[in-house]
Amino acid sequence: HGAAELDETGTEALPRRTPAPAWLPTAKGEEGDFCLRSSDCAAGLCCARHFWSKICKPVRREGQVCTRHRRKGSHGLEIFQRCQCAEGLACRLQRE
């Protein structure tokens, strides 16, 4: 245990990589798929909280509602998160 194996030439053999477990997704998640982080989701999607799990949701496009940011120090748990705005867009207050 703990000793390195030697190959036929007498040099240390590199450890063999095992294949990824079958339960790991091979493709990026689509909208509504469970995720752990945004990199688990396909392009144009982010990983956001939905109830007590996280799913891939679309990033905000022009004209869509933005997430309301609470004051600093307020750590209320949002059970329905929205994604950030798409690249080049920013949220702004809309006057009625």
- Residue 73 within any structural domain of the chain: yes
* pTM score over 0.75: no
CA pair distance 89, 16, nearest whole angstrom:
46
Confidence of residue 92 (pLDDT cuts 50, 70, 90): confident
CB 68 within 8 A of CB 82: no
Question: How many domains does the chain contain in total?
Answer: 1
The pLDDT of residue 81 is above 70: yes
Name 55's bridge partners.
Answer: 34, 48
- Residue 4 within any structural domain of the chain: no
Give the CATH number of the domain where residue 71 resides: 2.10.80.10
91 CB-side CA count, 13 A = 13
The pLDDT of residue 22 is above 90: no
CA pair distance 4, 72, nearest whole angstrom:
52
The pLDDT of residue 75 is above 70: no
- Residue 69 within any structural domain of the chain: yes
Domain of residue 81 covers 28-87
The tens digit of pLDDT for each residue in 44-73 reads 999 999 888 999 999 988 888 776 655 555
